[in-house]
Amino acid sequence: MRIIMFAGKGGVGKTSIASATGMKAAEAGYKTLIMSLDIAHSLSDVFALNKGLMDKNKGMPVKVADRLWIQELDINEEIQRNWGDVHRYIASLFNTSGLDQILAEELAILPGMEEVSSLLYINRYAQAGDFKVIILDCAPTGESLRFISIPTTLEWYIRKIFKIERRVVRYIRPLARRLYEVPLPEDDYFKALEKLFVRLEGVDKILTDPAITTVRLVTNPEKVVLKETQRTFLYLSLHKMCVDAIVMNRILPGNLEEKYFDDWKECQRKYMRLAEEYFHPVPIFPVDLFKNEPLGKDNLTELGANIYGERDPTRHFFAERPYEFQQKDGEFFIRIKLPFLTKEEVELTRLPEEVVIRIAGFRKHILLPRYAARYKDVTAKMDGEYLNIVFGGKDHGKEKT
């Protein structure tokens, strides 16, 4: 199976590019699904489907062309399918605080519920082989990063907190009922979380396997957008995601003769050159600005041809592992690609079972393999675009580099 994620800043044209890629993949003979990961779904609008404003087909796939389906999740349906006990407990907490029942149930739809539901579908489709190609139309950058970090975050929570929390609540629940009115979660709540985690097992390997999943960053030739694209590229590298192409969208056509646009065209050429420097050797696909909105299957087919030409859109246009573990001569290495950074911008903290990397306000926990956690001595240095972390010695402890 092939998974292609389209990510980038809001408003750069991700949904149109993802939809055009899905159309071209289906035309090439692949059974294809385009899944929206954005709470503000717009796939139906891009395909110009004759549907109601809030009609999401109860979150199930809708066939839009030969070998092509789209899926826009409905969080209320997903709560019934996956979040029943968890949602009921959180709603009861809000209700206890004095909120009315309807408002409590709305507030109990927490950030992350829709992303986890999307991951459950991806894992299920991958295991069942329902589709040959899955196109993921991501939300704007911040929410996309939360989506790809959820498997690691849940694994950390299950390993570090979950069992202790479940045990503590079991012991103090009888006493708490006599002392105050705020309800503690029943065991069904913990069973529901555990069941969700079991159903997610393996999805992190799918998303971080460059043979299966790659990311295509959609951007525009503008300073602010290009800076955001650099940051996204960096964060994706920290999450072991392989970026195999940059789609430079909405370029003013060269044959546009109006003098009003001359300065704009020159500015775009400048940022195109910068993008080539920033992201080399990752290929950049330039896409001219359409005369009108690329809506409907015919326009999306034309857009797909503009992006890929005769190329198969599902191929891997670039392959590289952003970070990898190595062991050599009694030492353990982590080599991480951190483009665009200097050593002063990276802070590394060594904990007994993990390494924490901090870059400005971003933090990434890397759980160490058991055999690596025993090493105490840690050194780190930047080598071009790569951060090399070297572990040596036998007794582990806590160190900061």
| Helix, strand, coil percentages for the chain (3-state, nearest 5) | 45, 25, 30
Nearest to 51 by CA among 63, 38, 39: 63
Report how many domains make up the chain: 2
- Residue 227, domain CATH: 3.40.50.300
Nearest to 351 by CA among 69, 103, 160: 160
Judged on CB neighbours under 10 Å (0-12, 13-18, 19+), 398 is exposed
Degrees to nearest 5, angle at CA 396 with 394 and 398: 145
Given its phi and psi angles, is residue 95 left (phi above 0), alpha (psi -120 to 50 degrees) or beta?
alpha
Q: In terms of domains, do 339 and 301 share one?
A: no
pLDDT of 222 reads 94
pLDDT of 227 reads 87
Which pair of structure tokens corresponds to residue 295? Answer: 């809506």
Residue-wise pLDDT for 267-292, tens only, equals 999 999 989 988 888 999 999 998 88
Terminal Cα-to-Cα distance of the chain (whole angstroms): 40
pLDDT of 314 reads 97
Q: In terms of domains, do 254 and 168 share one?
A: yes
Q: What is the pTM of this model?
A: 0.76
State the pLDDT confidence band at 98, using cuts at 50, 70 and 90: low
Q: In terms of domains, do 11 and 134 share one?
A: yes
Q: Is the dihedral of CA 130, 144, 284, 362 positive or negative?
A: negative
Mean pLDDT of 253-270: 87
Which has the higher per-residue pLDDT, 304 or 350?
304
Rounded Cα distance, 60 and 72, in Å? 7
pLDDT of 280 reads 83
Q: In terms of domains, do 36 and 150 share one?
A: yes
Three-class DSSP category at 219:
strand
* Domain end point (choices 274, 301, 316): 316
Mean pLDDT of 151-155: 76
Q: Is the dihedral of CA 55, 59, 60, 61 positive or negative?
A: positive
> What percent of the chain is modeled with pLDDT above 70?
82
* Domain end point (choices 291, 316, 341): 316
Q: In terms of domains, do 242 and 293 share one?
A: yes
**pLDDT above 90 for 63:** yes
State the pLDDT confidence band at 399, using cuts at 50, 70 and 90: very low
**pLDDT above 90 for 4:** yes
Q: Is 321:240 a contact under the CB 8 Å cutoff?
A: yes
Q: In terms of domains, do 356 and 287 share one?
A: no
Mean pLDDT of 24-47: 92
pLDDT of 190 reads 77
Q: In terms of domains, do 89 and 148 share one?
A: yes
Q: In terms of domains, do 252 and 390 share one?
A: no
User: In this predicted structure, which of 53-57, 188-192, 242-246, 279-283 has the lowest mean pLDDT?
Assistant: 53-57
Residue-wise pLDDT for 286-332, tens only, equals 999 988 889 999 999 999 999 999 999 999 999 877 777 777 777 77
Q: In terms of domains, do 66 and 20 share one?
A: yes
Mean pLDDT of 212-224: 95
pLDDT of 398 reads 40
Please give the mean pLDDT across all residues of the chain: 82
State the pLDDT confidence band at 171, using cuts at 50, 70 and 90: low
- Residue 368, domain CATH: 2.60.40.790
Q: In terms of domains, do 361 and 238 share one?
A: no
Q: Which amino acid is at 275?
A: A
pLDDT of 105 reads 58
Rounded Cα distance, 328 and 361, in Å? 33
User: In this predicted structure, which of 37-41, 53-57, 199-203, 226-230 has the lowest mean pLDDT?
Assistant: 53-57
State the pLDDT confidence band at 243, using cuts at 50, 70 and 90: very high
Mean pLDDT of 31-39: 91
Which has the higher per-residue pLDDT, 150 or 1?
1
- For 75, the domain range is 1-316
Q: In terms of domains, do 247 and 188 share one?
A: yes
* Domain end point (choices 262, 290, 316): 316
Strands 323-328 and 331-337: antiparallel
Mean pLDDT of 90-97: 61
Which pair of structure tokens corresponds to residue 239? Answer: 């999450």
Residue 368: how many CA atoms within 13 Å on its side-chain side?
25
**pLDDT above 80 for 345:** yes
Q: In terms of domains, do 254 and 357 share one?
A: no
List alpha helices for 329-387, DSSP H: 370-373
**pLDDT above 80 for 72:** yes
Rounded Cα distance, 273 and 53, in Å? 41
State which of 17-26, 234-243, 264-273, 339-348 shows the largest mean pLDDT.
Answer: 17-26
Rounded Cα distance, 159 and 390, in Å? 25
Question: Can you count the helices (H) and strands (E) in the chain?
Answer: 14, 16
Mean pLDDT of 80-85: 68
**pLDDT above 50 for 176:** yes
